[in-house]
Structure 1
């Protein structure tokens, strides 16, 4: 289940953290917190290499403390949408790492080094892909405009790596008050909640840049003010504001400005992927307290409106609640009414596997892959089907291909490790787990996994790969100069 830690407050609090740490760590004098000029985002306010190190340190500390969504289809969708938006920005898409946090609150956050987390609550609350894309574009803008880097660099007397570790400690402490690291930082962190929000200037800049990015990505820039308005309206009926509002203050004037800009920036063509409705529904089923609850919710929606997304959600819930035969009927009806889609083939395959009809499942998967060869969800489900037939060596060849195609996806590396273990290849399993930790920023854990590669049983290729990774990661962990 989702932990209750205020992730967004910790991650957005780099400025406040530096303020709290500066006197304790470096004896700094009073600092000017004003921001009269945002400056050139390309200026070297903080070396990108150091920013990457800070991001890696933060990911290493919080990786074990935050529940992440592991579903391959959902993660692939967010990576694809994030890459589509990032390509339209001023930074290479390869510099971003997108992941989904299992948290019902409506939020997204960006960390140093291009790590971008999207809450499950944001995906299920967005009404269309442009609204979801708007929040992602807004967070990317905080990265491209170096807002976080500027906050850190404003406090030159503070140890940057120590700041990152203490920031992660604040996150861990909010989830586990007994954590020793948090206990050491509680005093420094107290009294700074009022300073956690991004500055108004940063927010306005992220709005403007984010909507330009949306327009270039052929999404509707109006998604930003529309979703902001939903959040502001929803806030009137809550005892606590939505998480996004706690670090991204909203006013009607700001929404009006965003709406005016969106009118000017609307692209000639807006394309929203049909994947969104299916992914949103699938995620809602996965994060529900139990499959029966999800089935009841989607059954009520289908009876009142019966959108394709709601029908897909009902079928997905039926697979997980023990009625795959009825789910198959719904999936097939969607296929006839809406046309072929990889998520429908995935649902049909999962329904067949739920009834242990492995051959039928493989037939559905192969048919889907003939039309959608890049579908990660279908490829992973095929691997699951092969493992059920004790064809681990065949599955291992497929997971190896997936790691080449998606080298930055931790879930793919974890799957490759599991399949390698089933195929009795411990060296390959250790190498895969090393990558699993490394792509999440934990190079030390990756190096620990490399020590599991036994030279006596590993192949020459595996020994060579282990040595190359060890040299590369140890070099990255060694401070310059």
Structure 2
């Protein structure tokens, strides 16, 4: 995780730079959507001739993702990651940009932020998940960021400030990230000074913000989420800002005023989705994030206990206390509470997941597999249950079964780097180093690091690999080298 010494300006620059290149990737479908929206906004110009070439955008995205992967911690919770991927796909489907063009990932960072990057990478901070009170509020930030992309706002800024080199800016960001991990690095002060100037050039204008607000709410409505969630979450951000010495990272590039909140609320009243559906997963996922990001498990346990004793004995609060008990090394107590919650709340895959996690914590592998099988009989597509089943199989020294399970997972979740890493572990445990190398190659590639992926492919041995593995390695090598060549 980024250290506390990392200035908020780095995150501001990350969001601004990433959106700049991601905007350039928006194609005719995105422009057509903007044409169909009655935004009643001034003409901000057509920057199509200034758009960043797709190959350059992809290369910048890969370089930025490589640095982020090296320096920033993700969240190692397959259920949370799958939830964000599913929510992101749901929201992007409500735009005219194919959902397959985006890859969502979670950053373990307490600051309230989300950002889009070149190549369709979209990061969501754990702080954003924790701050949102419902799925519409969380979705509103993702929709707002996507609106900046589909409306090509940073491309317009580039057209107005031709002297800005986005590639240089991305490299400045990389230097800042590395410098934050090594305060003695001689280049840190220089890159910090450069970033401040770039940041001011890429900030959003009021017109851009208003357009993103309205377009984002339209996206929310199409996704059957509550457009009023945007106004409600803006209130949360403003309240958070009042009690902090530094503004939330999201506000640094998205200026917020009372008038803007009122305008958003007024616009939301005119938008009525056909129906509003908020996944029951949200509360449970938010509770898992709170436990996973707590400084100590007992701190999370005390927080849930205090809220429950104060009268909030909702299912997510009870679930959070049980998950905190597991993290605190009390699996038996957690199991009792989860079984009671299962009786009260009804079947949910995340309840079966927590019961399995409690059994694994108690070294009861057979019991864990039994809980997982019960859950999968009701929720066969649950990524959390399927991943935890692999963990249980590995713990039971059933590596071949684990490898078969991860093969199916990688087929169903081809853009999930954690799934590929798990497949690599299973292959290694099953004494198949060539399959492990292929899996790690995919692991790096889906994060944008094609060079690291190619390096892994070189580990596939002509001596030990099967004909199928060699053919896969050759096909991947040709495809990735071509992508790197096209990016310059």
TM-score by length of 2: 0.90
Looking at structure 2, the residues matched to 403 and 154 of structure 1 have their Cα atoms a distance apart, in angstroms, of 44
Corresponding residue to 1:173 among 167, 172, 179: 179
**Compared with structure 1, are the counterparts of its residues 280 and 41 closer, same or farther at alpha carbon in structure 2 (3 Å cutoff)?**
farther
Gaps of 5+ in 1: 19-34
Q: Does 1:307 align with 2:310?
A: no
1:201 maps onto 2:218 in alignment: no
Could you tell me which runs of 5 or more consecutive residues in structure 2 were left unpaired when the two chains were aligned. Answer: 22-40
State the Cα distance separating 1:177 from its structure 2 match: 3.4
Which residue number in structure 1 is paired with residue 474 of structure 2?
Answer: 467
- 1:188–1:218 Cα change, 3 Å: same
**Distance in 2 (alpha carbons) for counterparts of 1:132 and 1:281:** 14
**3-state SS, counterpart of residue 278 of structure 2:** coil
Alpha-carbon distance in 1 for matches of 2:487, 2:376: 47
Q: How far apart are residue 249 of structure 1 and its match? A: 0.6
Deviation at 1:41, TM superposition (A): 8.0
CA distance, structure 1, for counterparts of residue 439 and residue 182 of structure 2: 30
Say whether residues 1:145 and 2:151 are aligned partners.
yes
CA 1:450–1:110 in 2, change beyond 3 Å: closer, same or farther?
same
**Is 2:386 the counterpart of 1:379?**
yes
> Structure 2: how far apart are the matches of 1:97 and 1:337?
36
User: What residue is the counterpart of 2:325 in the other structure?
Assistant: 318
Aligned length: 465
Cα distance in 1 for partners of 2:155, 2:229 equals: 27
Aligned to 2:334: 327
Cα offset, 1:161, TM superposition: 3.6
Matched, 1:11 2:14: yes
1:203, distance to aligned residue in structure 2 (A): 1.2
2:122 to 103, 116, 129: 116
Q: In the alignment, is the contact (CA less than 8 A) between 1:61 and 1:169 conserved in 2?
A: no
Which residue pairs with 1:390 in the alignment?
397
Give, in whole Å, the separation in 1 of the partners of 2:253 and 2:422: 35
The aligned residue for residue 78 of structure 1 is: 84
Q: In the TM superposition, what whole-angstrom CA distance separates every residue of 1:107-151 from its partner, at most 9, and x where no partner exists?
A: 111112221111101101111110000011111111212223444
Displacement, 1:43?
7.1
CA deviation after TM superposition for structure 1 residue 175, in Å: 4.2
Instruction: Give the C-alpha shift of residue 434 in structure 1.
Output: 0.7
From 228, 248, 254, the counterpart of 1:222: 228
Counterpart of 2:366 in structure 1 is 359
Q: Supply the distance in 2 between the matched residues of 1:90 and 1:39 (Cα, whole angstroms).
A: 21
User: Which residue is equivalent to 2:375?
Assistant: 368
Q: For residues 4-46 of structure 1, what are the alpha-carbon distances to aligned partners after superposition, in whole Å with 9 as ceiling and x for unaligned?
A: 333531223439999xxxxxxxxxxxxxxxx974345877723
Instruction: Tell me, yes or no, if the aligned pair for 2:157 and 2:202 is still in contact at 8 Å.
Output: no
User: Which residue does 2:429 correspond to in 1?
Assistant: 422
After alignment, is 405-414 or 195-204 more displaced?
195-204
Q: How does 1:144-163 map to 2 (within 5 A)?
A: 144-152=150-158, 160-163=166-169
Whole-angstrom distance in 2 between the partners of 1:242 and 1:185: 22
| Cα separation, 2, equivalents of 1:252 and 1:106 | 19
Query: Which range is displaced more, 210-219 or 162-171?
Result: 162-171
Q: Deviations over 1:320-371 (max 9, x none)?
A: 1121111111111111111100000001111111112211111110111111
Between stretches 43-52 and 317-326, larger displacement belongs to 43-52
Instruction: Report the RMSD for the aligned CA atoms in angstroms.
Output: 2.3
- Which SS does the other structure have where 1:60 is aligned? helix
CA separation of 1:107/1:455 partners in 2, compared to 1, >3 Å: closer, same or farther?
same
Residues 2 and 308 from structure 1, CA distance in 2 versus in 1: closer, same or farther, beyond 3 angstroms?
farther
Deviation readout 1:198-245 (Å, 9 max, x if unpaired): 222221111111100000000000000111012112222222112211
2: CA distance between counterparts of 1:183 and 1:398? Answer: 49
- 1:93 aligned partner: 99
Residue 400 (structure 1) shift: 0.9
Question: The residue matched to 2:124 in structure 1 has which SS?
Answer: strand
Residues 255, 186 of structure 1: alpha-carbon distance in 2 compared, 3 angstrom cutoff: closer
- Against the structure 1 CA distance between its residues 53 and 194, is the aligned structure 2 distance closer, same or farther, given a 3 Å change threshold? closer
TM value normalised by structure 1:
0.91
Determine helix, strand or coil for the equivalent of 1:113: helix
Q: 2:295 matched to which residue of 1?
A: 289
Aligned residue for 1:64, secondary structure, equals helix
Query: Which 10-residue stretch deviates more, 162-171 or 362-371?
Result: 162-171
SS of structure 1 residue aligned to 2:245: coil
Contact 1:221 1:265 in 2 (8 A): yes
CA-CA distance at 1:184 after TM superposition = 5.7
Contact 1:345 1:364 (8 Å CA) reproduced = yes
- Larger mean Cα displacement after TM superposition, 170-179 or 447-456: 170-179
Question: Displacement of 1:190 after TM fit?
Answer: 4.7
- The answer as to whether partners of 1:222 and 1:266 remain within 8 angstroms in 2 is no
What's the offset of the Cα at 1:189?
A: 3.0
